[in-house]
Structure 1
């Protein structure tokens, strides 16, 4: 069984430390490395472009472009990594045993409302976009913004633009009101790349049952994440606690709408025995003890592969 992981923040660490390489030249610095991806049999890893709010230029396009340059220069130059921009690219990874790399945005603040920038990023390979991080920007409120606003008029225009271009919209960091605005406006399925169930862990970054059902009904995907305080309120999470979130979403009809969204390299604490891609094998073994082999395979990769074949450009 190969693995699809729809969220990691390795690019953010590469952007912070210019001496760091994706080959893991500084042991322990990166959760996700080339070696760990290949060793774990990862079929596809999504790489998020996240610009820290601590950067003076975080509202500019420059660090986004620098991150994409690092993606091309430090990730895609490695021999068994392949850029995934289309369903055909994904099929080639499956056929050739390569590890696909999909480029996503975690926040669009730096685009400054310019659709021309969105088009340029699409041409550079971006295929998924979360509009916000936790705070607010010109497009929408993030989930931790106290006022809890929804999409702005410009944000609504960007929903339509993403639909037209073929960029998958990621709602993981959106405020609840922005989530519902987006779900109502998008003509394409939406995803939550790295969120769990609020019913089991009442963190604002998790999804309510109504949100989970809405994603299921539109044909979207929910990426189970390993952020320990999204798994259990006290942060002392185990793999069994992760499985409980899978169970809950399945109980809502989500068997064909679950995937993985680790958030590796975006966290400093970990679920016990789940600290890098190589340890996802332990999650797989635990899943096989609780779930059927076909369901386990669908969650590890099958659901995401089917979704991407339907929602990426054909060629």
Structure 2
């Protein structure tokens, strides 16, 4: 069964280690070899700027885009998904693909023009925050739970105008609701689970999940152990099932996908340690759900969304 994964942090690791090979690096979760083992047709690569390496900047965003362009795409490992017409080629199989997103607008330095630059460079999704506050909004771990700033509202508007799709996974609740009221386009939560199953500020409340669905968006069930199950002890693949069931109960069967967060975690779900383990998940799901449902969650829902919402080739938006 073919797979689409909507979130990983492999670029950040490769930027930190210029010698890391995408083909089969031992300290990487996401590699070409493991994508092939897991029948992964498309991986979304987040550009994530950890503050441990200094203040986020546009220069560092560009550096990670360069990692993808030179060490993954131009090296011949993955095709680069930017246009809706290319989804047809993904469906035909035979090649692995990559797509770029930005995780946190901090490095844009408050300059909306940089959003246009990233779009022209092939970035197609933008998460407004990481966990904490930046110039645009408060993140999910910001205790004050503030909303969008004036500049943040302008950012949402500009993304809508040029076709940059928005990712709400790391937003505070207040920012989430302001964004859903402002946006004129579908949104995604690339890597968030159900808060009613596992309470955590990074998970989505039931009404938030319903809101993403109402906007014809997608929720990416993630494999971060502490977003799956509270408490200590082993987290198993079976523990992912209640999150899938809850999203389906809320009307999200056709809006569910996966966003692993591989290479962004240092603990893993037993049996889901890297992309090569996706067949294990498919096998488990097929014991509980129909083949058509599982196919939708593994790749079909995500591909339909991309086909509907990526820009058309050679289209220009001012």
TM range (shorter): over 0.9
Residues 57 and 63, structure 1, Cα contact 8 Å, conserved in 2: no
Provide, for residues 3-23 of structure 1, a one-character-per-residue CA deviation record: whole Å limited to 9, x for no partner: 000000000101111111211
Counterpart in 2 of 1:296? 294
Counterpart in 2 of 1:31? 29
Q: d(CA) in 2 for partners of 1:244 and 1:116?
A: 42
Counterpart in 1 of 2:3? 3
**Pairs aligned (count):** 312
Residue 94 of structure 1 and its aligned partner are, at CA, apart by: 2.2
TM-score by length of 1: 0.97
Q: Matched residue of 2:177: which SS?
A: helix
Q: d(CA) in 2 for partners of 1:296 and 1:217?
A: 22
Q: d(CA) in 2 for partners of 1:288 and 1:295?
A: 9
Residue 61 (structure 1) aligned with residue 73 (structure 2): no
Residues 225 and 267, structure 2, Cα contact 8 Å, conserved in 1: yes
Counterpart in 2 of 1:248? 246
Q: d(CA) in 1 for partners of 2:74 and 2:243?
A: 36
Q: d(CA) in 1 for partners of 2:93 and 2:248?
A: 32
Counterpart in 2 of 1:203? 200
Q: CA RMSD in A?
A: 1.0
Counterpart in 2 of 1:90? 87
Residue 292 of structure 1 and its aligned partner are, at CA, apart by: 0.6
Counterpart in 2 of 1:262? 260
Residues 132 and 139, structure 2, Cα contact 8 Å, conserved in 1: yes
Residues 23 and 77, structure 2, Cα contact 8 Å, conserved in 1: no
TM-score by length of 2: 0.96
Q: d(CA) in 2 for partners of 1:308 and 1:97?
A: 19
Deviates more, 1:229-238 or 1:167-176: 229-238
Residue 132 (structure 1) aligned with residue 126 (structure 2): no
Counterpart in 1 of 2:15? 15
Residue 24 of structure 1 and its aligned partner are, at CA, apart by: 2.2
Q: d(CA) in 1 for partners of 2:172 and 2:261?
A: 19
Counterpart in 1 of 2:171? 174
Q: d(CA) in 2 for partners of 1:277 and 1:255?
A: 22
Residues 194 and 260, structure 1, Cα contact 8 Å, conserved in 2: yes
Residue 244 of structure 1 and its aligned partner are, at CA, apart by: 1.2
Q: Matched residue of 1:103: which SS?
A: strand
Provide, for residues 101-158 of structure 1, a one-character-per-residue CA deviation record: whole Å limited to 9, x for no partner: 1100001111112121111110110000101000100000010111110001111111
Residue 38 of structure 1 and its aligned partner are, at CA, apart by: 1.9
Counterpart in 1 of 2:316? none
Counterpart in 2 of 1:52? 50
Q: d(CA) in 1 for partners of 2:60 and 2:36?
A: 28
Residue 55 of structure 1 and its aligned partner are, at CA, apart by: 1.7
Residues 103 and 128, structure 1, Cα contact 8 Å, conserved in 2: yes
Structure 1 stretches lacking a partner, 5+ long: none
Residue 39 of structure 1 and its aligned partner are, at CA, apart by: 2.2
Residue 80 of structure 1 and its aligned partner are, at CA, apart by: 4.9
Structure 2 stretches lacking a partner, 5+ long: 314-318
